[in-house]
């Protein structure tokens, strides 16, 4: 069944449940009645992720439901061989109607389905690095992929990467994995050089997205590392400085927050060097911001300032975002958030509050993950400045967003904040503790390891 018709029926049902007429829904999202009618009949496709978000918000529906993530990309059929495999689900999407009716909750299924496979055979098969690669992945029906299909796939991938800013991790991680499986089924090594590289670039971008979700949101560093390894091997295979820089910066976060800040700084500086050799302007800016954070984690104020100012200089110039392969977005408001968070790490709380106030005033409302981390950083700054109630207020704001995007790292930071504040025994600290327990309980039933 065409995906547009599935999406159209879901929008129509949501509209009727809300008691809205087609012209009323159209007015709410800035489109005509006839456009809504065509979308509901599956004649016209949704033209952007932002439009899907507006419709979902108006109808009170999850965006992943409106976009039919549960049926859009199924994983490899059960008839496919078990090896070689990729890290990720071997079941259908955990949010499908069939799976949601099972006795096992979606969180348990998600954690069970992300199992580590052998990357060596997979990389050989997709990249053509070994003479017997054809025997390592079953050949699906079909052969050559046309350029239009690959362009559409890359466009879909860009939407998924942008959606990191606001989508729940337990919904987006299986989709990223599904895209990896989809590229495998298209057999990149059988395509022309240009299409092969484009397919592999998409695969590496989706591997990076899955890695970020597994590491920061779903609490599975082992699987995150496996996806990083896959992405980096592909980046080297296709000689992509953009993707190599993205993966190295991800490694910087993983290494630093696993207890090795010096090693994390080494990875961050390698990401900066790699980006300088041919990555997009925004990637060069972001890797400098990552390096600024790693400098702050090692207590190096000069390095933090130098890298962050370089990021700002790059963001103030002309962009080439058709080449941006990063996750989410990175702009000057996010640079302000980096500055504030880094100043907290350096113990400069009054300066941090000014930067974080500015960042939260400028970060767009849909950047839920970015706002989530900015709120916990400002809460930590308030705590350092002994503004206990303000710290609790920002802790509440961070937890509200954690419940929406399932950002485990922020949950961990709020828990640490509460431990540092609970000795004050105020109404605010008690309330924050209750909110923390409620959020943990919620995430346990929604697919995020806590």
String of DSSP letters for 81-112 = -SSS--SB-SSS-TTSHHHHTSSS-HHHHHHH
CB 399 within 8 A of CB 385: no
Q: What angle do CA 177, 216, 300 make, to 5 degrees?
A: 135
pLDDT at 382 over 50: yes
Q: What is the pLDDT confidence band of residue 446, given thresholds at 50, 70 and 90?
A: low
Report the range of poorest mean pLDDT among 80-89, 154-163, 222-231, 272-281: 80-89
Sequence-distant (6+) residues with CB within 8 A of 209 are: 160, 161, 164, 172, 176, 327
Position 93 confidence tier, pLDDT thresholds 50, 70, 90: very low
Comparing 80-89, 195-204, 348-357, 387-396, which segment has the lowest mean pLDDT? 80-89
Nearest to 372 by CA among 332, 412, 343: 412
The structure tokens listed for 425 are 């025994």
Across 162-166, 270-274, 344-348, 415-419, least confident range: 162-166
pLDDT band at 43 (very low <50, low <70, confident <90, very high): confident
With bands split at pLDDT 50, 70 and 90, how would you rate the model's confidence at 205? very high
Give me the half-sphere count of Cα atoms (radius 13 Å) on the Cβ side of residue 247: 25
What mean pLDDT do residues 134-143 have? 40
Reported confidence tier of residue 442, pLDDT bands at 50, 70, 90: confident
Query: Which pLDDT score is estimated for 124?
Result: 42
pLDDT confidence of residue 178: 86
314 pLDDT above the threshold of 70: yes
What's the pTM? 0.70
**Residue 210: pLDDT above 90?**
yes
Q: pLDDT tens for residues 276-298?
A: 999 999 999 999 999 999 999 99
More confident residue, 121 or 221: 221
- Percentage with pLDDT > 90 across the chain: 52
51 has a pLDDT exceeding 70: yes
Using alpha carbons, select from 233, 275, 234, 229 the residue that is nearest to residue 251. 229
Q: Tally Cβ neighbours within 10 Å of residue 73.
A: 19
| The pLDDT value given to residue 336 | 95
Structure tokens at 333: 């408001």
Q: Measure the CA–CA gap between 271 and 250, rounded to whole angstroms.
A: 9
pLDDT(207) > 50: yes
CA distance linking residue 31 with residue 23, whole number of Å: 8
| Model confidence at 113: pLDDT above 70 | no
DSSP assigned state of 80: S
State the pLDDT at residue 49.
67
CB count, 10 Å around CB of 193?
8
Q: Report whether pLDDT(129) > 50.
A: no
- Say what the pLDDT of residue 105 is: 40
For range 394-423, the mean pLDDT: 93
What's the chain's average pLDDT? 82
Write down the pLDDT at residue 152. Answer: 87
- pLDDT-based confidence at 108, cuts 50/70/90? very low
pLDDT at 217: 84
Instruction: State the average pLDDT over residues 206-232.
Output: 89
Question: Per-residue pLDDT averaged across 3-26, rounded?
Answer: 89
Q: Is the pLDDT of residue 115 over 50?
A: no
Q: What CA–CA distance (Å, rounded) separates 291 from 277?
A: 16
């Amino acid at each position: 069944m065409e995906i547009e018709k599935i999406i159209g029926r879901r929008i129509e049902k949501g509209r009727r449940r809300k008691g809205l007429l087609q012209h009323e829904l159209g007015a709410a999202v800035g489109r005509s009645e006839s456009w809504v009618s065509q979308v509901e009949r599956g004649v016209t496709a949704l033209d952007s992720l932002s439009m899907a978000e507006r419709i979902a918000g108006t109808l009170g529906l999850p965006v992943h439901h409106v976009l039919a993530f549960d049926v859009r990309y199924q994983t490899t059929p059960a008839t496919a061989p078990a090896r070689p495999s990729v890290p990720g689900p071997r079941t259908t999407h955990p949010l499908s109607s069939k799976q949601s009716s099972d006795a096992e909750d979606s969180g348990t299924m998600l954690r069970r389905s992300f199992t580590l496979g052998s990357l060596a055979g997979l990389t050989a098969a997709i990249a053509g690095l070994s003479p017997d690669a054809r025997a390592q992945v079953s050949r699906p029906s079909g052969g050559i992929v046309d350029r239009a299909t690959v362009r559409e796939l890359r466009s879909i991938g860009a939407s998924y990467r942008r959606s990191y800013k606001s989508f729940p991790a337990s919904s987006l991680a299986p989709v990223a994995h599904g895209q990896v499986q989809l590229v495998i089924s298209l057999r990149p090594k059988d395509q022309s050089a240009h299409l092969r590289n484009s397919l592999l670039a998409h695969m590496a971008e989706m591997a990076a997205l899955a890695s970020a979700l597994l590491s920061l949101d779903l609490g599975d560093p082992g699987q995150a590392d496996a996806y990083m390894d896959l992405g980096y091997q592909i980046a080297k295979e296709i000689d992509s400085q953009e993707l190599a820089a993205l993966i190295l910066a991800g490694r910087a976060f993983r290494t630093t927050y696993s207890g090795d800040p010096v090693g994390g700084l080494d990875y961050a500086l390698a990401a900066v060097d790699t980006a300088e050799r041919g990555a997009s302007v925004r990637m060069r800016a972001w890797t400098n911001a990552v390096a600024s954070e790693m400098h702050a984690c090692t207590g190096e104020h000069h390095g933090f300032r130098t890298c962050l100012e370089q990021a700002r200089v790059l963001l103030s110039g002309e962009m080439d975002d058709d080449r941006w392969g990063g996750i989410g977005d990175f702009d000057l408001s996010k640079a302000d958030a980096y500055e504030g968070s880094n100043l907290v790490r350096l113990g400069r709380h009054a300066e941090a509050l000014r930067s974080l106030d500015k960042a939260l005033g400028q970060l767009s409302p849909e950047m839920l993950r970015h706002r989530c981390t900015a709120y916990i950083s400002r809460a930590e700054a308030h705590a350092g400045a002994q503004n206990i109630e303000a710290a609790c207020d920002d802790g509440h704001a961070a937890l509200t967003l954690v419940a929406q995007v399932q950002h485990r790292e922020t949950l961990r930071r709020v828990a640490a904040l509460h431990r540092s504040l609970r000795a004050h025994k105020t109404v605010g600290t008690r309330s924050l503790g209750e909110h923390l327990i409620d959020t943990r309980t919620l995430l346990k039933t929604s697919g995020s390891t806590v």
